[in-house]
């Protein structure tokens, strides 16, 4: 399941999300997007390690990141409350 | 696996790319204002008043009505708009060159009259749009295109702390300074902006939020280094906090 979705064509490659992720899951890629920026990427295998904390998305000046959380994780969190 | 979206672009923010430079935190402030408009479900009855500076294209980015004000005059234009459209939410969005230099008179008198406006003041310590000139908010020693040896307080004066200054006026109901340099600060900034709009929703008077932001391009720094400068140099001079918060009962 994808917890972090980075909209490649909205990303300006500023790396503020890279700097914000406490688990160091995001990096800048290696190819340019249509606007000449090098967009941020997250490897498929790192999606599982993501806690859906949304720190990356909060720092993004371009609202290029959406965050999803597993419903099971949400239910567990609810039942703990 | 079933998933739920826990963070997404606010609907009050149009789904378009902005002209802002990479890492420019005008984008974060735009998103936080849009999140607040979503919260109050108020986009349809909100009128933004844009200033002159890099944030001049408010109407391209927010799904709301926007009036364009002459440089520095947004609080005066917003006064007229709010007095005519009493049930609308009216806010100005101004840079530090706009609000603290050419528009000093307008902001002080709008606050002093206690106009029921929300003012979002984006302090990036420079004139961004015109190429990084010294602003009244430029830090002592900061190099800009018009202070190439660094701001000299003996000849250029000291930076103005607008949030504190406006808090001294009886007309100001709420005045706070926030930053967006860390996820925690972004959360706090969002709360302050929501509070400032909440004051207007409840008709409690003039509310002001100063947001410390970066201008990586004119600071000559990459966005991450510019962001670190906020905690290292800018917050020590412009402390975060709430300088006045008059609840309805006290007034
Ligand atoms: C009457 C008038 N004087 C000067 C200018 C030139 N001017 C355009 S934007 C600007 C300052 C913008 O700086 P700021 O308000 O800090 O906004 P930023 O671009 O940094 O977001 C100036 C002086 C103008 N457009 N109109
Ligand atoms: S949601 Fe949190 S853990 Fe996941 S990539 Fe973003 S910052 Fe990292
Ligand atoms: S913070 Fe946003 S614009 Fe900057 S690199 Fe990350 S996704 Fe791209
Ligand atoms: S010049 Fe500065 S304030 Fe203007 S868009 Fe670029 S980084 Fe932002």
What per-residue confidence (pLDDT) applies to A71? Answer: 83
pTM over 0.90: yes
- Domain count across chain A: 1
Burial class (CB in 10 A: 0-12, 13-18, 19+), B98: buried
Structure tokens at B171: 């007309």
User: Does residue B55 belong to any structural domain of this protein?
Assistant: yes
Average confidence score pLDDT of chain B: 97
On whether any CB of chain A is under 8 Å from the CB of B185, the answer is no
Residue B29 CA to ligand 2 centre (angstroms): 21
Ligand nearest to the CA of A17: 3
Domain that includes residue B139, residue range: 26-245
- Of B54, B126, B13, B216, the residue nearest A15 (C-alpha): B216
**CA B106 distance to own-chain centroid:** 15
pLDDT of residue B2: 81
Chain B residues touching residue A60 (CB < 8 angstroms): 27-28
pLDDT for the residue A81:
60
Structural domain contains residue B13: no
Residue B54 belongs to some domain of the structure? yes
The domain tally of chain B equals 1
In chain B, which residue's Cα lies nearest the Cα of A51?
A: B6
Whether the complex's predicted ipTM surpasses the cut of 0.85 = yes
Could you say which residues of chain A have pLDDT below 50? none
A63, A66, A71, A75, best to mutate vs chain B, most B CBs in 10 Å:
A63
Q: Do B224 and A16 touch (CB under 8 A)?
A: yes
Residue B12 lies in a domain: no
The secondary structure element, H or E, covering residue A5 is strand A4-6
pLDDT tens digit sequence for B57-85: 999 999 999 999 999 999 999 999 999 99
Residue B144 is assigned to a structural domain of this protein: yes
Residue B251 has pLDDT above 60, yes or no: no
Q: Is the CB of residue B55 below 6 angstroms from any atom belonging to ligand 1? A: yes
Share of residues in chain B with pLDDT > 70 (%): 98
Identify whether B251 is part of a domain: no
CATH number of the domain at A68, please: 3.30.70.3270
* Residue B189 maps to a domain: yes
Distances from the Cα of B52 to the Cα of A21, A50, B92, B97, B235, angstroms = 34, 41, 11, 9, 25
Q: Ligand 3 centre from B50 Cα, in Å?
A: 25
Which domain range does residue A50 map to?
4-80
Domain of residue B66, CATH code: 3.40.50.970
Contacts of A62 in chain B (CB under 8 A): 17-18, 20, 27
**DSSP category for residue A31:** S
Q: Relative to the CA of B20, which ligand 4 atom is closest? A: 5
Report the chain A residue with the minimal C-alpha distance to residue B30: A61
Q: Closest-CA residue in chain B for A37?
A: B22
């Amino acid at each position: 399941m994808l917890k972090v979705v980075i909209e490649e064509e909205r990303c300006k490659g500023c790396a503020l999300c890279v700097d914000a992720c406490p688990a160091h899951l995001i990096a800048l890629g290696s190819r340019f997007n249509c606007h000449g920026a090098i967009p941020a990427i997250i490897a498929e295998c790192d999606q599982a390690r993501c806690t859906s904390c949304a720190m990356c998305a909060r720092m993004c000046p371009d609202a290029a990141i959406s965050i999803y959380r597993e419903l099971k994780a949400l239910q567990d969190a609810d039942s703990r409350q | 696996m079933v998933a739920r979206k826990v963070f997404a672009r606010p609907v009050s923010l149009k789904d378009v790319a902005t002209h802002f430079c990479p890492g420019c935190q005008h984008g974060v402030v735009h998103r936080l204002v849009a999140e607040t408009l979503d919260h109050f479900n108020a986009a349809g009855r909100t009128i933004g008043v844009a200033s002159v500076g890099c944030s001049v294209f408010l109407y391209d980015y927010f799904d709301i009505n926007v009036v364009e004000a002459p440089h520095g005059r947004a609080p005066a234009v917003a006064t007229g708009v709010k007095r005519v459209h009493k049930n609308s939410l009216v806010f100005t969005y101004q840079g530090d060159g706009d609000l603290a230099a050419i528009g000093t008179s307008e902001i002080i008198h709008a606050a002093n009259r206690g106009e029921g406006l929300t003012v979002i003041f984006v302090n990036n310590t420079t004139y961004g749009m015109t190429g990084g000139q010294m602003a009244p908010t430029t830090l002592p020693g900061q190099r800009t295109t018009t202070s190439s040896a660094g701001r000299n307080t003996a000849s250029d004066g000291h930076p103005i702390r607008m949030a504190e200054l406006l808090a001294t006026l009886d007309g100001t109901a709420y005045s706070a300074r926030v930053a967006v340099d860390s996820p925690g600060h972004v959360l706090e900034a969002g709360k302050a902006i929501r509070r400032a709009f909440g004051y207007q929703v409840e008709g409690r008077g003039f509310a002001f939020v100063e947001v410390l932001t970066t201008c990586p391009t004119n600071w000559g720094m990459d966005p991450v280094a510019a962001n670190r400068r906020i905690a290292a140099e800018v917050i020590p001079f412009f402390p975060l906090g709430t300088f006045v918060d008059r609840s309805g009962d006290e007034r």
